Structure 1
């Protein structure tokens, strides 16, 4: 006799899935509203959200992800200045050299405690270069503020979802 299984979740599983999803949507919408209200870029807030969820096991791991993200922003600033300094002599060769140096740092720290989140490092690099701020300090502060909103939203979402799943299990 063969046992048949169904891939269709039962009603309580579906309801839980919907509630879990709605929690994420509400928290993300609130974070986007907060970012926009503070004249910060919502996409930069979502960089913080994504970085937070690269290590969703605990709040400490989430904070470690944010440290790596913010250090990625700072590393991008170093890369920005490397390109500026070397462009007159190397032309288009300055960017690949800078990227090589930045990648060596980000990948080289993959085993270091606290700052071992390569994905968050590269998110920081990408976000800073994508933002292309004219003023490096203002750009950095804006990215840190927006991504901090995303991290707080990630934490709140994680806590609410955990509370929901704990309550549903009892």
Structure 2
């Protein structure tokens, strides 16, 4: 988001654009009755790796899969807990989830381990009941945050270029 060669004007612009993006994203999440905190999980995922449009999609996809895996994990805990107790069901399911999530970090794409865990944290922190509606709600909030991160990263460049304020570097 910042580069050592950023001018004072660029530094201020980056700061203001990030603040405006965050404000608009939070207002959008609020207007859509989505959890604002979950929007920030998407924002964090954007900045976790890549800072390109392609990595934006991949990172968000990892968050979405993390949310989905979290939903399946919650369902599995709910199914196993009556027979085994939560004290046994939880570690078994967490072990299985960790095997899957840590194992897929080696895929050629969709391999952002941090973004997977952001999705898992989003699911479990929400304390929502497993349902497609709740998955969509959290995924939408994350998408808003990821889009806001993308805008906050690229918009200052566009503005500086349009105003002729970008310093050429080699």
Q: Which residue of the partner structure matches residue 168 of structure 1? A: 166
State yes or no: 1:72 paired with 2:72: no
| Structure 2 counterparts to residues 57-136 of structure 1, below 5 A | 57-91=51-85, 92-136=87-131
Q: Which residue of the partner structure matches residue 5 of structure 1? A: none
CA contact (8 A) 1:20 1:164 kept: no
State yes or no: 1:14 paired with 2:12: no
TM-score normalized by structure 2? Answer: 0.87
Larger Rg: 1
TM-score normalized by structure 1? Answer: 0.87
The Cα of 1:135 is off from its aligned counterpart by 4.9
Q: Deviations over 1:22-55 (max 9, x none)?
A: 1111111111011111111111111111111112
* Consecutive unaligned residues in structure 1, runs of 5 or more: 1-8
* Consecutive unaligned residues in structure 2, runs of 5 or more: none
What is the aligned residue count? 161
RMSD: 1.9
CA contact (8 A) 1:66 1:120 kept: yes
The Cα of 1:101 is off from its aligned counterpart by 0.8
CA contact (8 A) 1:54 1:62 kept: no
| Alpha-carbon separation, structure 2, partners of 1:107 and 1:164 | 39
